Amino acid sequence: GIQVEQSPPDLILQEGANSTLRCNFSDSVNNLQWFHQNPWGQLINLFYIPSGTKQNGRLSATTVATERYSLLYISSSQTTDSGVYFCAVEANTGFQKLVFGTGTRLLVSP
Amino acid sequence: DGGITQSPKYLFRKEGQNVTLSCEQNLNHDAMYWYRQDPGQGLRLIYYSQIVNDFQKGDIAEGYSVSREKKESFPLTVTSAQKNPTAFYLCASSVELGEQFFGPGTRLTVL
C-alpha cells in the first residue's frame, strides 16, 4: 500500500520563528489533508490540498502531486501552534481511505 | 451547530467485556469512518461505510464490529477478541470523495 513519510519527526522553535514540514508519499493520490492534533487529541483540519497551493492566515501548504510531496509552512509561530501535525493521503485506489504519516511533533516555546 | 460527536469521552473496560463507542454526525455526510490511534503513532483505519446498511473492513478490523442502520450514526463495538484495545478512537465523516472531518475521540482503557 501507499507509504507516507513526514519530516522532521520533532521540531522545537522559538515563538516568532518560521518552519517547514514535509510529507512524502509513494504513489499517486486523490486527496491529501493536513491536520493539527491539539493536546486534547482533537484533529483540526488545516488544508485539503491534493495539488497546488493554499493559504490560511499564517499557514500555507503546497502539494506537488507529480513529485509526490507536500509542504506545510508555518510563519511567525505561536505557542498555540504546538502539537502534532499529520499529513494523510487517499491513494488512487477507487475507495476513500486516508493513510496517515507518523506526524511531526512541534513545540513552540515563548 | 453541524458536527461530529463521540461518546463517551473516556471509557474503561474490564478484560473480556464488549464495549460500544458512539459516533453521530449531523453534516448529512454519506461516508463515515473509524480510526484507531496508538501513542506516538498516526491513525489507522478500522472500518468505513460509504452508505447506509453497507460497511467495509479497513486495515485493522479484527476484534471490532460496526453497524450503519442510520445515515447519522456509525457505532463501533470493541469485542473481547481484540487483543490490545487500549487506544484513542476517532470517528470521521465525509461527502463522497471529499474532505474528512473528525470527532473529538474516545479514550478506551482496558483494566
Query: Which one, of A24, A18, A21, A20, lies nearest residue A2 by Cα?
Result: A24
Q: Touching check for B13 and chain A: CB below 8 Å?
A: no
Confidence of residue A94 (pLDDT cuts 50, 70, 90): low
CA pair distance B8, A39, nearest whole angstrom: 18
pLDDT at site B2 = 67
The two beta strands, B87-94 and B101-102, are antiparallel
Flag whether pLDDT at B1 surpasses 70: no
Q: Touching check for A95 and chain B: CB below 8 Å?
A: yes
pLDDT at site B67 = 97
CA pair distance A44, B104, nearest whole angstrom: 10
CA pair distance A8, A100, nearest whole angstrom: 15
Residue pointed to by grid coordinates 476513500: A96
Chain A nearest-CA residue for B58 = A97
Q: Give A25-66 pLDDT, tens digit per residue.
A: 999 998 999 999 998 899 999 999 999 999 999 999 999 999
Minimum-distance CB partner of A96 among B31, B44, B104: B31
Residues B76 and B91 sit within 8 Å (Cβ to Cβ): yes
pLDDT at site A92 = 74
Q: Touching check for B5 and chain A: CB below 8 Å?
A: no
Which residues does chain B have within 8 Å of residue A61's beta carbon, measured at their own beta carbons? none
Chain A nearest-CA residue for B96 = A96
Half-sphere exposure in the Cβ direction for A82 (13 Å, CA): 12
Q: Touching check for B109 and chain A: CB below 8 Å?
A: no
Which residues does chain B have within 8 Å of residue A97's beta carbon, measured at their own beta carbons? 45, 48, 58
